[in-house]
A and B are shown apart, each in its own frame.
Chain A
């Protein structure tokens, strides 16, 4: 412990931190660009420079350790001038596209330029005019808007263990790109969108399908229906400036109707359905000596990851489609029949916290007769955009409820949106399926929370079931490696591609920090506390769907519509 001086104020430090972390704690604003909370500093952007008394130049606060008695100035004219110069240099070859840019008003570079009051072009650089990469169904890259901060590269490597992208070339030619600068679609990218969340500019954005959806909504020959994922209702309000943690389910449903969707369904319904199928599959595998541990299959980034990097684990993947695709399948079959609709007239839209869902819905396994079950996937952010575009005041509308025949959902289906949620829901129902009794305590605390890997042993009758939950693929890989190395005590593994689960998905509102993610998670568990239908196997609409249409879990119809198979993928680059 010793003290240092920040802007003439004496502050305490434990002595083993950086100048930046002291400043943050003390509420002293230091702008950063390349810095990422929880990662070792990279020192790439130099925006965080501060003046250190007794040293001639400026020092980068994000990587500079505190030393006893040091005196720091964070807002001297010299510091401010240096920072402004950095911003001006970043702008010098930047396309001045703000008005036409998807990050307009949500862009960190723009904010910096505004904060520093940049009013003149002191540096005019050559514009690059590089090609955009629109090859991926999920992610669009615009290298001209990249400021080479490296955040995407680090997330892709250090959180996801994918490394689809890296710095290519050097000096003025440097870009962030794939090996051989191919399109992302043929790269190892698993479409998670975590890179979008950390990108300060519009260099990385989702592949938007808003135009297609708007066109469908205005086509009188189309019957446009929509489903929304469990994690969307607890984040959409952030798009309208409400602080994280608000569940706006009813208002969002009402807003979706106002936008012109003929039916609004809650994907949590098919999350319940997934639990019936996946729970039965797990029980069957355990009882009949099937391949274990079984791995969940609802996160499409994870599926592609296994296909590419762990193909030997494909037999472990549950054959269940994801809730999105189950909903898509029952909409164009059961629902269409029930309403006397021609399935080819139905346009099935899905609002997801996820960019990989855009990839998933276009997989060839996910439809029949060359018709996709889900036609377009919009992210939470795109839904926000659509609501603004149509001028619907979402926070003012009268709340509404999801439509029949899929109107009911349990809170087990709802908590799918957080890491550990699928596991908890599955445990609740597997217990019932195996023992015929309900769990006394439905809450499974061991699988809740934001740790990357969580484990528990669950007693079901005289069976002890080992479960593990991983979020982020780096963590998932760690679990798989331990299984490869011979661990036998895990029966069931839940994997969510995004760290924290869908509440932190690549399609969620930008600028969601750890606190925001916690608040979103809390909102989901609050719903689980408040409501009475808390287990999937008591969802009466699910039971009716089985009665009237599907038969029994794992039955022939389920097999046809709700299950699928995955295949090894050669990673091109």
Chain B
């Protein structure tokens, strides 16, 4: 716990006399540095800005960009933008949720997978789109999604 809190002190120090209007920027920087916003970070940020933890968390959850769990070894993004929606991304997401047994925003217990829903990946021509660790997968179907995730599992066993 202490290590994480210490980690963000250098970030906080960059904002002397910061007030609540710096909250989003600080949250972003913390997430960039750690991959997610931990409970300890929320409390530390709150103490630094003299804001209650509930407020910091409330603001952070208002924006979809923040994660509160560390990402898994495979970070899976499913696009739910308009184009992808039209091409059936809802059932795609459903398949992925069931396959991974986690909800968007969560990370599996073994830290293997994390799931995120994004608004538009900017690749509408390839819709519906999924993304694993930054790599795009075009014109996905539920079957192909399951194969893709199995591939990840195999990769993990081999390495």
Contacts and interface: CB of A to CB of B under 8 A. Distances in A.
Interface of A: 157, 162-170, 177-180, 187-188, 571, 573
Given A180-B68, A188-B52, A188-B53, A573 B58 contact: no
Contacts of B39: 179-180, 573
B43 to A, nearest CB: 7
A170 B62 contact: yes
Interface centre among A162, A166, A167, A187 (most CB of B within 10 A): A166
A573 B61 contact: no
B65 interface: no
Closest 9 CB pairs of A and B: A163-B52, A179-B53, A179-B57, A166-B58, A166-B54, A179-B54, A169-B61, A573-B53, A170-B62
Given A163-B52, A573-B39, A180 B62 contact: no
B145 to A, nearest CB: 24
Given A165-B54, A169-B62, A179-B39, 7 more contacts: A164-B52, A164-B54, A168-B54, A178-B54, A187-B54, A188-B54, A573-B39
B1 to A, nearest CB: 11
B79 interface: no
27 contacts: A163-B54, A163-B55, A164-B52, A164-B54, A166-B52, A166-B54, A166-B55, A166-B58, A168-B54, A168-B57, A170-B61, A178-B54, A178-B57, A179-B42, A179-B43, A179-B52, A179-B54, A180-B39, A180-B42, A180-B53, A180-B68, A188-B53, A188-B54, A571-B43, A573-B39, A573-B42, A573-B54
Which secondary structure dominates where chain B touches chain A?
helix
A170 B62 CA distance: 5
Which secondary structure dominates where chain A touches chain B?
loop
B56 interface: yes
B52 A168 contact: no
Contacts of B43: 179, 571, 573
A163 B20 CA distance: 15
Nearest to B62: A170
B53 A168 contact: no
Given A169-B62, A170-B62, A573-B39, A180 B57 contact: yes
B58 A168 contact: yes
A165 B53 CA distance: 9
A169 B59 CA distance: 8
A187 B61 CA distance: 18
A571 B53 CA distance: 10
Nearest to A181: B57
B55 A168 contact: no
Nearest to B38: A180
A160 B51 CA distance: 14
Interface in B1-60: 39, 42-43, 52-58
Contacts of B68: 180
